[in-house]
Amino acid sequence: MPGMANFTLQRGRVPLLISLPHDGSFIPADIAARMHPAARRSPDTDWHVGRLYEPLAHALGASLIKPLASRYVVDLNRPADDHALYPGQRGTGLVPTIGFDGEPLYRDGESLDGAEVQRRINAFWQPYHQALAQELARLRAEHGRVVLWDGHSIRSRVPMLFEGRLPDFNLGTASGTSCSAALQARLQACLESQSRFSFVVNGRFRGGYITRHYGDPGAAVQAVQLELAQVSYMDEASFEYDEARALPVRECIGRMLQICLD
């Protein structure tokens, strides 16, 4: 995407930055041409998380950053050296060659070499993380503290990644290291105070690279990841957004974001 910004950043006025690293579904034509037709739809996108979070960011005055490109181009929630975040568990890596269904993304005979991987890192991964880091620094300098909220979603059943059905809300704090114990306790209490949605704290999704890398409570930067089961707010078969389902999800997220600001 020469000459184009590969992400959008809405700068806010409060110490909260919402990152949506898998919101994008765009795949450049030269990459898509080498992929299987089904993969070109980018089915493993965190569908519609922008629609959930953008009204909340606007109402709260929070900053929000999200990419245009699909995670199939490069996964912004993986480290640039591609070391395993969940050792021993199957995953899709920094530049995926398989989808969450375990099927190959690229047609037979197509392969990715190290030079192409580095080009994608340079063009997509680095600009996003540079902007994210700069916005965190700006907000911390202005307010003395900042919370980074990393918003995700995934199909409720992905046998390659986890057994059975995923809880509706999956809160991750890198096993308690990316934010204070007090913030984690208040967010967990918020989830415990409702009965509509199932939830887990530091379960299968404890936080990816963004949460682990940027979360530094001792330096007044707290980071939290929320992985939603997509069935809670959309139709997983058609990828269509369902406002009736989404409204209570958004309200619950809004309460948790307010806790981050209080």
Domain containing residue 71: 7-261
* pLDDT reported for residue 50: 98
Cβ(43)–Cβ(154) under 8 Å? no
Looking at the structure of the chain, the number of domains it has is 1
The answer to the question of residue 84 being in a domain is yes
Cβ(200)–Cβ(227) under 8 Å? no
Query: What's the pLDDT tens digit per position in 85-143?
Result: 777 677 778 999 999 999 999 999 898 999 999 999 999 999 999 999 999 999 999 99
Q: How confident is the model at residue 42 (pLDDT cuts 50, 70, 90)?
A: very high
Mean pLDDT on 224-237 = 98
Angle (CA) 188-214-113 rounded to 5° is 120
* pLDDT reported for residue 86: 73
Q: Quote the CA–CA distance of 72 and 76 in Å, as a whole number.
A: 10
The tokens of 61 are what?
């005055």
The answer to the question of residue 1 being in a domain is no
Sequence length of the chain is 262
Query: What's the pLDDT tens digit per position in 164-216?
Result: 999 999 999 999 999 999 999 999 999 999 999 999 999 999 999 999 999 99
Cβ(183)–Cβ(225) under 8 Å? no
Backbone angles phi, psi at 191, to 5 degrees: -70, -35
The tokens of 86 are what?
């969940």
Q: What is the mean pLDDT of the chain?
A: 95
Q: How confident is the model at residue 1 (pLDDT cuts 50, 70, 90)?
A: very low
3-state secondary structure the chain: CCCCCCEEEECCCCCEEEECCCCCCECCHHHHCCECCCHHHCCCCCCCHHHHHHHHHHHHCCEEEEECECCCCCCCCCCCCCCCCCCCCCCCCCCCCECCCCCECECCCCCCCHHHHHHHHHHHHHHHHHHHHHHHHHHHHHHCCEEEEEEEEECCCCCCCCCCCCCCEEEECCCCCCCCHHHHHHHHHHHHCCCCCCEEECCCCCCCHHHHHHCEHHHCEEEEEEEEEHHHCECCCCCCECHHHHHHHHHHHHHHHHHHHC
Question: Can you give the pTM of this predicted structure?
Answer: 0.95
The answer to the question of residue 256 being in a domain is yes
Give Cα separations from 125 to 37, 118, 243, 262 (angstroms): 25, 10, 31, 32
Neighbours of 115 (CB within 10 A): 7
The answer to the question of residue 231 being in a domain is yes
The answer to the question of residue 251 being in a domain is yes
The answer to the question of residue 121 being in a domain is yes
Neighbours of 99 (CB within 10 A): 20
Identify the CATH number of the domain in which residue 224 sits: 3.40.630.40
